[in-house]
Amino acid sequence: MPEKLALSLEVNGEARTVHAWPMARLLDVIREDLGLRGTKEGCGEGECGACSVFLNGRLVNSCLVPAVQAQGAMLQTIEGVAKGEALDPVQQAFLQHGGAQCGICTPGMVMAAVDLLQRCPEPSEADVRDGLAGNLCRCTGYVKIVDSVMAAAQSVSR
């Protein structure tokens, strides 16, 4: 019989241990065992990006990652993006420029945007469109999301 794993990891800067099946989806561990409900499930097959998180600094679709792979890892979720009350410049820009509508893709979209700006601090519009192409949004037609990310890049570089 398989046994649950004592899974120890750093979650948004805090040491946590939970007991999870080794092949449980990291997404379920995040939502159910860690109680962090900001990470969303849109498709369960790595297409929509709503479940995007950082695992050891790399952006991943948490619906495709088995829990065992997070053993000893550094995990950052949407809840760890703002510093207390202070929003990240990406979050601030999404607010200001209408980047969130229904909001269900927004946590994943914010994670992907943070990732993009780390890799490419001064992106062109084409860079942003390419960089966010793994995250689906059904509400916005992406215009205001692209605007938000471009504005965030500018506010950071200033």
Q: Which of 96, 81, 87 is nearest to 148 (CA)?
A: 96
| 47 lies in the site for another protein, by CB under 8 A | yes
3-state secondary structure of 9: strand
User: Are 10 and 78 a contacting pair, CB within 8 Å?
Assistant: no
| 105 lies in the site for another protein, by CB under 8 A | yes
d(CA 50, CA 61): 8
| 107 lies in the site for another protein, by CB under 8 A | yes
Q: Which of 57, 72, 98, 121 binds another protein (CB under 8 A)?
A: 98
d(CA 71, CA 98): 37
| 14 lies in the site for another protein, by CB under 8 A | no
What DSSP designation does 81 have?
T
In the structure encoding, which two tokens stand for residue 42, read together?
Answer: 């849109």
Q: Which of 14, 23, 71, 103 binds another protein (CB under 8 A)?
A: 103
| 138 lies in the site for another protein, by CB under 8 A | yes
- In this structure, are strands 74-76 and 5-11 parallel, antiparallel, or unpaired? parallel
Q: One symbol per residue from 60 to 89: x for binding another protein (CB under 8 A), - otherwise; what is it?
A: -----------------xxx-xx----x--
Residue 8 or 47: which CB sits closer to another protein?
A: 47
Instruction: List interacting residues with another protein (CB under 8 A).
Output: 36-45, 47-48, 50, 77-79, 81-82, 87, 91, 94-107, 110, 125, 128-130, 132-146
